[in-house]
Amino acid sequence: MIFAGSRETASGSNSSSPHRASGLRHQDGQATLETVVSLTVAFSLVFWLFELCMFSYTCSVLNDAAQEGVRYAIMHGTDSSICSGPDAGCTDQSPYANVKAVVTNAASASLHNIAAMTINVTYANSTAAIGNPVAVVVAYTYVPFLNFPGLVNALTFTSKGQILY
């Protein structure tokens, strides 16, 4: 027997039976919930990947900045007209502002606040003469763009460039 407003399937069951409708009621919103959970996981992974890329990029830029500082220091040793070093004839003696300016300029590409960066320039044997090593150490506290609750929100790393010329 078929009532108005109901359908009979090929197996003869009525699709608008009370048991069928109550079974569907327990699944209302399942697709929405699965979509929300999937998008939450997907966006979290994308944001973590972005943060990892920015951390790696910042680390690379600061390493390059330390190397640029070392290069500048060795190119402007005692045999240069614009000498940077601890020697008496050098115009840029401690705190070696010219070397630090080169490092700061190179590090400005890191897209972070470089005012928090600490730069230490060390001339071995207290001379900028040829054959003596120079080291430039850059220390920086990395603050993530995305702060996740419960995680460390800052990470300090150092980059050291040293060369014997």
- In this predicted structure, the answer to whether residue 81 has a pLDDT above a threshold of 90 is no
* Mean of the per-residue pLDDT values of the chain: 81
In this predicted model, what pLDDT tens digit does every residue of 19-65 receive, in sequence order? 555 555 666 788 889 999 999 999 989 988 998 898 888 889 989 99
| pLDDT at res. 120 | 92
Domain range summary for the chain, segments of one domain joined by +: 18-163
Query: How far is the first Cα of the chain from the last one, in angstroms, to the nearest whole number?
Result: 100
Q: Which of 50-59, 131-140, 147-156 has the lowest mean pLDDT?
A: 147-156
* Residue 92 or 100, more confident: 100
- In this predicted structure, the answer to whether residue 9 has a pLDDT above a threshold of 70 is no
| Distance of alpha carbon 26 from alpha carbon 126, whole angstroms | 79
The closest alpha carbon to 81, from 92, 70, 71, 68, belongs to 92
| Distance of alpha carbon 46 from alpha carbon 1, whole angstroms | 57
- Inter-axis angle of helices 97-107 and 30-75, nearest 10: 150
- In this predicted structure, the answer to whether residue 89 has a pLDDT above a threshold of 80 is yes
Which tokens is 158 given? 């150092």
Average pLDDT over residues 100-124: 88
- In this predicted structure, the answer to whether residue 91 has a pLDDT above a threshold of 80 is yes
How many of the other CB atoms lie within 10 Å of CB of 81? 6
* Residue 154 or 140, more confident: 140
DSSP H/E element including 55: helix 30-75
